[in-house]
Amino acid sequence: NEAVDPGARKRLKLLEIHRALNADPVDVEALRRAAVSEGGLLTNEIRRKVWPKLLNVNVYNLPPKPGKAVRTNHKDYNQVLMDVKRSLSRFPQGMRVDQRVALQQQLIDVILYVLKGNPQLHYYQGYHDIAVTFLLVMGPRMAAALLQILSTHHLRDFMDNTMENTKHILNYLMAILEQVKP
């Protein structure tokens, strides 16, 4: 078994991703496989194309840019603010302070926009790490749209007001992981 040239592997993966994006209809399963395989989606440019497809977000019908109004009287504002202030390492090294502060404000607004629009969801520590990834790659409007879908579908069971569902799921997860990697 000869080692495969990493450059060739990357080119092949890029080709597979572009083929999946250009298929009619888009080959979402192929995009999923690419996203979870070694190296993920490779670049932010590709992520900007693929993430909306994976979450079925209409890029032509985005929510308005979340503004400061979402902060008013929101029960999670103080916790979100504290978590975002501690998230310095999630921003690119060398970023100007004023630019980072502006992005942190946008991050607060994106998170609270999703939570305010979905009162059944409850903020948990670490949620801001997901949100900042979308914000840095996609910008505030698309980040809000992606986070909305992810939160109301894929993360829904982890956003209850208690950790009961999360603990239940983790019990199954540990058993599954033990079977995969004993």
Mind listing the pLDDT tens digit for each residue in 64-91? 999 888 888 899 999 999 999 998 888 9
Task: Tell whether 111 is covered by a domain.
Answer: yes
Q: Within a 10 A sphere around the Cβ of 38, how many other Cβ atoms?
A: 6
Report how far apart the first and last C-alpha atoms of the chain are (Å, whole number).
Answer: 26
Of residues 178 and 27, the one with the higher pLDDT is 27
What is the CB neighbour count within 10 angstroms for residue 63?
16
- For residue 132, is it within any domain? yes
Domain check: are 94 and 26 in the same one?
no
pLDDT (tens digit per residue) in 147-182: 999 999 999 988 888 888 888 888 888 888 888 876
On whether the CB atoms of residues 149 and 130 are closer than 8 A, the answer is no
> What is the C-alpha to C-alpha distance for residues 129 and 118, in angstroms, rounded to an integer?
19
Whether 115 and 139 map to the same domain: the answer is yes
Higher pLDDT, 162 or 101: 101
- Distance CA(148)–CA(141), nearest Å, equals 11
Residues 80 and 139 grouped into a single domain: yes
Please check whether residues 20 and 76 belong to one and the same domain.
Answer: no
Q: Which residue has the higher pLDDT, 34 or 165?
A: 34
pLDDT grade for 3, boundaries at 50, 70 and 90: low
Asked if residue 120 belongs to a domain, the reply is yes
Q: What is the pLDDT of residue 1?
A: 41
109-125 pLDDT, tens digit each: 999 999 999 999 999 98
Entry pTM: 0.88
- Total domains in the chain come to 2
Domain enclosing residue 85, as ranges? 68-155
Q: DSSP letter at 153?
A: T
15 part of a folded domain? yes
Paired tokens of 157: 């069971």
Give yes or no: residues 146 and 84 share one domain: yes
Distances (CA, A) of 2 to 5, 6, 25, 78: 9, 12, 36, 55
Give the per-residue pLDDT at 147.
98
73 lies in the same domain as 141: yes
Q: Are residues 82 and 132 in the same domain?
A: yes
Residues 41 and 109 in one domain: no
pLDDT digits (tens, 9 = 90+) for 42-64: 999 999 999 999 999 999 999 99
Is 98 in the same domain as 133?
yes
Confirm whether 144 is domain-assigned: yes
Q: Are residues 76 and 123 in the same domain?
A: yes
CATH code assigned at 114? 1.10.8.1310
